[in-house]
Structure 1
C-alpha cells in the first residue's frame, strides 16, 4: 500500500504512520521523507497480508481526519525486477529555468527512468550568484551502451553550461 502524507514540518506524522503500519501487522518496505519549505512530505510503502492491509486502511482513514494532514493511500502492485543499472547523476550550474526539464527530457528520450530527484537553489558563498544543484538516481536499461550514453549526456551538459557527473551508484 502506498501512503503519501503532506503536513507542516512541525507536525510530522512519521511516528504516527510508522506506529499504525506496525500495529496493523504490516511492514514498512520503503520510505522517503523530505522537508521542502515549511512542509514535510512522506511517501511510505507498506506491505502485508490482505487482512493487515485492510486494518491499516481503516487506521489511515481515521488519521486522515486531522485537518493539518493531507493523506492519500491506495493499494499498489509490486515493482517488477527489470534489469536496470542504478546510476547517480549530479548537476551544478548557475540557476535558470528549464534545467530539470531538459535533463528529464534527455533521459526520457533514452527510455531511462528517473528513480529519485533532489534539487535545490542556493547562493554561492564567494560570488553571491544564484546556483542550482540536483542529484538524480536513474535506472539505465542493461542493453544501453553506458560510455556512449555518458558522452551524449555530458555533451548536452556542456552545451547548457552545466557541471555534471554520471557514476554508478555505490551501495
Structure 2
C-alpha cells in the first residue's frame, strides 16, 4: 500500500512546461489543451496573454512519465503543422511557498523607461520574489499623456516587517513620482 501512494505522488511530480507563441488571431489554446488531455495528462496551471499582435501561452501539464512522453511527441507534430513557436521541457513541482505572504502592488505613472527595473530591483534587494507581473502603456483620457500601469504579485517572506517594507517602497515610489499601493492579496 505504501508503494502505491509513493508511485501516485511520483506521477504528479512529472511535469512538462509548454510555452507557445503565435499571432493573436490563431490562439493554439484549444489544440494544446486537447493534446494534453489526449496524452492522458492534466493541465495543472495555465497563463494566456495577448501582447501586441501575439498570443503567449504558458501551460504546465502533469502526469505519468509515459503520458508526458506521449505529449512531447504530439507537441513535436503540432509544431510542424502550425505556424507557432513552441518550447517545452520537463520540470518539477514548485517548492512550498507557505512562508511567503502574497501581496499585490499596483503602480501608475507617467510612462518613462526604467520603472519596472527599479521596482524589481527594490524587491530583489529585500529578498522578495515577483510571482506575477502585468504591465501596460496607455494614453490618459483627459490629457492624452503616455501612462504606465503595472500590477505585481509578490511573495514577502514572513520574517520581513511589512509596515517598514511598505514605508520604504512608498518612499521609493514618491521619489520616482509614482502612484502606488501595496496590499495583501484577497482571495
Q: Which has the higher helix share?
A: 2
Query: How many Å separate the matches in 1 of 2:71 and 2:30?
Result: 15
User: Secondary structure at 1:64's aligned position in 2?
Assistant: helix
- Secondary structure, in 3 states, of the residue corresponding to 2:112? coil
TM-score normalized by structure 2? 0.90
SS in structure 2 of the partner of residue 75 of structure 1: strand
User: C-alpha displacement at 1:80, in angstroms?
Assistant: 0.5
Counterpart in 2 of 1:48? 63
> Shift of residue 66 of structure 1?
3.3
Q: Larger C-alpha radius of gyration, 1 or 2?
A: 2
| Corresponding residue for residue 114 of structure 1 | 130
Cα RMSD for the two superposed structures? 0.8
CA shift digits 1:53-90 (9 cap, x unpaired): 11111111111113520000000011000311111000
Which residue number in structure 1 is paired with residue 143 of structure 2? 127
Query: Any gaps of 5 or more consecutive residues in structure 1?
Result: none
The answer as to 2:90 corresponding to 1:90 is no
Q: Distance in 2 between matches of 1:43 and 1:66?
A: 19
Normalised by the size of structure 1, how large is the TM-score?
0.98
2:110, 2:165 → 1: CA distance?
24
The answer to whether the aligner puts 1:12 opposite 2:32 as a matched pair is no
* Aligned-partner Cα distance in 1 for 2:106–2:134: 10
Equivalent pairs counted in the alignment come to 171
Match of 1:100 among 112, 116, 119: 116
Structure 2: distance between partners of 1:167 and 1:49: 39
4+ runs deviating over 2 angstroms: none
| 2:173 alignment partner in structure 1 | 157
* 1:75 equivalent in alignment to 2:79: no
Distance in 2 (CA, whole Å) between partners of 1:153 and 1:3 is: 34
